[in-house]
Amino acid sequence: MSTQSTAASITNTAAFDAAQAVIPGGVDSPVRAFGSVGGTPRFMTRADGPYLYDVEGNRYVDLVCSWGPMLLGHQHPDVVAAVHEAVDAGLSFGTSTLAETALAELITQRVPVERVRFVSTGTEATMTALRLARGVTGRNLIVKFAGCYHGHSDGLLAAAGSGVATQALPGSAGVTAAAASETIVVDYNSPEQLEQVFAEHGENIAAVITEAVPCNMGVVEPAAGFNAFLREITRRHGSLLIWDEVLTGFRASDAGGWGLTGREEGWTPDVWCFGKVIGGGMPTAGLGGSAEIMNHLAPLGPVYQAGTLSGNPVAMAAGHATLARADASVYERVQTASDALRTGLVEALETAGVDHSIQRAGTLFSVAFGTSERGVRNYADAQAQETFRYAPFFQSLLSSGVYLPPSVFEAWFVSAAHDDAAIEHVLEALPAAARAAAAATPED
């Protein structure tokens, strides 16, 4: 049950109407729109632990977690205190600060990178990573996987997963043929296609960019050995491996998606992209790698990159407090909460007779309807699912006070603040949602 608290000052519908009058579609990121699930986007006023509260005073168990950053839950006291302290000292200086070094040190202690450059968004991180790869190799082509999302820069919007898939756009208007022509898109989990592309274009390929675990077409597990193969084939051809951990970084595991594969298998990518968790809810992202590669960036090297608010002290404080607090107990709790949700989801769907498959990687998972036979190995599989079952499933949970991503092509996000009470609330709401999914027809 959604908890009605204080009297509403404004309804979600009125808030959405007002927003649409001044903001395209009423949202500042298309993934927040309710286009594929119907109804009115909820306007949140505050958050606490595992909960969000909207303008009408409704409470929701938050399974979006700001699309990943809120690993500790909302308003964690350590993070709030660190941010308050930073704010009191000054919002932005446009100079170097100790906070940047401190956060970079934490990152280099967690994953094998020697240098980190901070930027403000994941889009900037991946965009810069491409420029860096091209600058280092002197080559122009980039290989990406269909269904992987790497932010919204021109060359990376081809077959870019969730946001684009939910909006049913074929990529994006405004991206020139020239920009698109330097991106080669191949199917995820297909070593054969990569071999073919490298055989044809190998000497012009600057980099392969991949999500450490694809999470923007729903979660797609890398087949055993697939990431190690990416490492091997890029090295064999003198290309770089760009490892996008913007979503998975310090969330899928203590060492992100790399912690699930590379750490055990003993390999490291060349350029890493971080975001989401490293900002703890503030606009911060970054890229990292060996000193040798990263020193190609200005001011040491010829690859230019800059940012007025890069390494902003308030954002650094939030990120540092989040990562510093994210010890083994945090990942244990996130895993336990995630496992409980996944188990409850499977049980509810099986009871209701909804054909589905669950994809998971570490603490992240997602559901795809009508896919039990093949599972989901790539974007084509993800798109072939029974998407029509998601809207009624989502709406049922929403009306019970559970806020899921408004798209079936997204992972479910939990935090260490998702305690037994919050999880229990979702588990109680799942059977009705599963029945709504079961009753859905393609015409709905």
Residues with active-site annotation: 149, 244, 276
| Distance (Å, whole) CA 241 – CA 243 | 6
Tell me how many degrees the CA angle 60-64-66 measures, rounded to the nearest 5: 105
The stretch near ligand PLP (CB under 6 A) out of 143-151, 254-262, 358-366, 407-415 is 143-151
72 touches ligand PLP (CB under 6 A)? no
Is there binding between residue 123 and ligand PLP (CB under 6 A)?
yes
* 150 sits near ligand PLP (criterion: CB under 6 A): yes
Nearest residue to the partner ligand PLP, using Cβ = 122
Cβ distance to ligand PLP smaller for residue 122 or 362? 122
| Residue closer to ligand PLP (CB basis): 151 or 392 | 151
Q: Which of 41, 275, 288, 289 binds ligand PLP (CB under 6 A)?
A: 275
By the rule CB under 6 A, 216 interacts with ligand PLP: yes
CB of 126 to ligand PLP, least distance (A): 6
Under the binding rule (CB under 6 A), the answer on residue 211 touching ligand PLP is yes
Q: How many residues bind ligand PLP (CB under 6 A)?
A: 14
Which 234-253 positions form the footprint of ligand PLP (CB under 6 A)?
244, 246-247
CA 303 to chain centroid = 27
Give the residue with the Cβ less far from ligand PLP, 278 or 417. Answer: 278
Q: Does 149 bind ligand PLP (CB under 6 A)?
A: yes
Q: With DSSP H G I counted as helix, E B as strand and the rest as coil, what are the percentages for the chain, rounded to 5? A: 45, 15, 40
Q: Which is nearer to ligand PLP, 275 or 289 (CB)?
A: 275
| CA–CA dist 320, 301 (Å, integer) | 27
Residue 413 identity (one-letter amino acid): F
Angle CA(25)–CA(31)–CA(35) in degrees, nearest 5? 55
Longest dimension (CA), the chain: 65
Alpha helices, DSSP H only, in 271-419?
Answer: 291-294, 313-325, 328-352, 379-383, 390-399
Q: Near ligand PLP by CB under 6 A, which window of 122-130, 353-361, 382-390, 395-403?
A: 122-130
Instruction: Give the separation between CA 148 and CA 158, rounded to whole angstroms.
Output: 9
Render the burial of 37-55: b for 16+ CB within 10 Å, e for the rest.
Answer: beeebbbeeebebbbbbbb
Site residues, ligand PLP (CB under 6 A): 121-123, 126, 149-151, 211, 216, 244, 246-247, 275, 285
